[in-house]
């Protein structure tokens, strides 16, 4: 039985990866920071995961955890991922996203193992993209406009260095927007859904507070994305870069369109929205739409969950979360 290590397993994507791997009857190990990790995302499967206390900023802790697990596959999902705080905490973000990756790769070298290691990048790395450059490809110039994006570029490139220098089986991907249940409400779509759920429970006036909502994205359901990640570790060529996202026009929307669709799904009529200056970022990334042909031609991956279902699943999740807090 293959051993799978998921860093960041208690997070949004990491917890869905745990579900996917457990459904495949794989042996799943996860890292947690003793009393600091939020376990709610894995409460339903916690007993089926082998847990190791490990702060990935500590190289000794990472070495000992990798030594105990000796994984065949690593999904490196641990990161500082919320863009907005990266302007106020640029060093924290670089330390986390770069150093945790180095510690993990060094632990593999020191333990003399060479698992397949997925390092998930972000479409945010492309930054200031012009409409004439769409769709984004692996050859598109990187013009990051926030500190988070710079740290993800650093993470990706140090992975490439360890592939070239030491022959580690690094699988490099850049995933474009993926949404669904368990994503924190600090991000756009779950933030809208959370507020709508509060409005439905009479806990907020019927006005959704938003930041900039004109940016356009291609959106993928998180369950389709974790399926893509599994296909990536099975099929992709180490060292190569692959873009992952839904290319269908039905999955390409602005955040304003997503917000208005969510409002249309509400049981409350007449909900409006207004821009709150504190939620507007210093710089915007107006267009993130990718060409995934390199990845799909190799893996035959095709997202199957509709954009409507992405919104429905997200809204239902936050309805349950808001309702449970009333008890």
Residue 58 DSSP code? -
Is pTM beyond 0.85 here?
yes
Q: Are residues 35 and 46 in the same domain?
A: yes
54 and 189, same domain (yes or no): no
Tens of pLDDT, residue by residue over 263-317, are 999 999 999 999 999 999 999 999 999 999 999 999 999 999 999 999 999 999 9
- Residues 240, 267 within the same domain: no
pLDDT of residue 81: 94
Say yes or no: 80 and 225 in one domain.
yes
pLDDT for residue 324: 87
Mean pLDDT of all residues belonging to the chain: 96
Percentage above 70 pLDDT, the chain: 99
Domain containing 39 equals: 3-178+219-244
| pLDDT surpassing 90 at residue 186 | yes
- Say yes or no: 143 and 193 in one domain: no
Question: CATH code at 318?
Answer: 3.90.25.10
- Give the CATH number of the domain where residue 19 resides: 3.40.50.720
Q: Is the pLDDT of residue 326 over 80?
A: no
Asked if residue 165 and residue 42 are part of one domain, the reply reads yes
Report the C-alpha gap between 281 and 246 in whole angstroms: 25
Q: Report the domain count for the chain.
A: 2
Query: b vs e for 37-47, b when ≥16 Cβ sit within 10 Å of the residue's Cβ?
Result: beeebbeebbe
Residue pLDDT, tens place only, 16-47:
999 999 999 999 999 998 777 889 999 999 99
Domain annotation covers residue 290 = no
CA-nearest of 178, 198, 177, 180 to 317 is 180
- Do the domain assignments include residue 19? yes
Name the E strands within 21-72: 27-32, 50-53
Q: SS3 string of 258-314?
A: HHHHHHHHCCCCCCEEEECHHHCCCCCCCEECECCHHHHHHHCCCCCCCHHHHHHHH
Residues 202 and 271 in one domain: yes
User: 327 pLDDT exceeds 50?
Assistant: no
Statement to judge: residues 158 and 199 lie in one domain: no
């Amino acid at each position: 039985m293959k051993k799978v290590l998921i860093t960041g397993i208690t997070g949004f994507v990491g917890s869905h990866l745990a579900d996917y791997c457990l459904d495949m009857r794989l042996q799943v190990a996860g890292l947690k920071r003793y009393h600091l990790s939020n376990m709610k995302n894995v409460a339903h499967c916690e007993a089926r995961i082998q847990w190791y206390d490990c702060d990935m900023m500590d190289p000794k802790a990472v070495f000992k955890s990798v030594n105990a697990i000796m994984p065949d596959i690593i999904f490196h999902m641990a990161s500082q991922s919320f863009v907005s705080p990266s302007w106020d905490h640029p060093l924290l973000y670089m330390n986390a996203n770069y150093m945790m990756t180095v510690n993990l790769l060094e632990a593999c070298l020191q333990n003399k193992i060479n698992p397949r290691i997925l390092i998930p990048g972000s479409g945010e790395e492309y930054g200031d993209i012009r409409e004439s450059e769409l769709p984004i490809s692996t050859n598109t110039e990187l013009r990051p406009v926030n500190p988070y994006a710079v740290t993800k570029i650093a993470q990706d490139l140090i992975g490439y260095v360890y592939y070239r220098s030491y022959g580690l089986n690094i699988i490099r991907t850049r995933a474009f927007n993926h949404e669904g249940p368990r994503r924190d409400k600090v991000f756009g779509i779950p933030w809208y859904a959370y507020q709508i759920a509060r409005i439905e429970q009479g806990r907020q006036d019927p006005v959704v507070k938003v930041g900039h909502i004109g940016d356009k994205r291609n959106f993928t359901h998180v369950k389709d994305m974790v399926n893509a990640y599994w296909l990536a570790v099975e099929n992709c060529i180490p060292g190569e870069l692959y873009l992952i996202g839904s290319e269908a026009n039905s999955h390409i929307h602005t955040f304003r369109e997503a917000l208005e669709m969510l409002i249309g799904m509400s049981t409350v009529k007449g909900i409006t929205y207004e821009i709150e200056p504190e939620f507007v970022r210093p710089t915007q990334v107006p267009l993130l739409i990718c060409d995934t042909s390199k990845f799909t031609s190799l893996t035959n991956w095709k997202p199957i969950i509709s954009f409507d279902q992405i919104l429905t699943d997200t809204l239902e999740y936050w309805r349950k979360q808001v309702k449970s807090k009333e008890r």
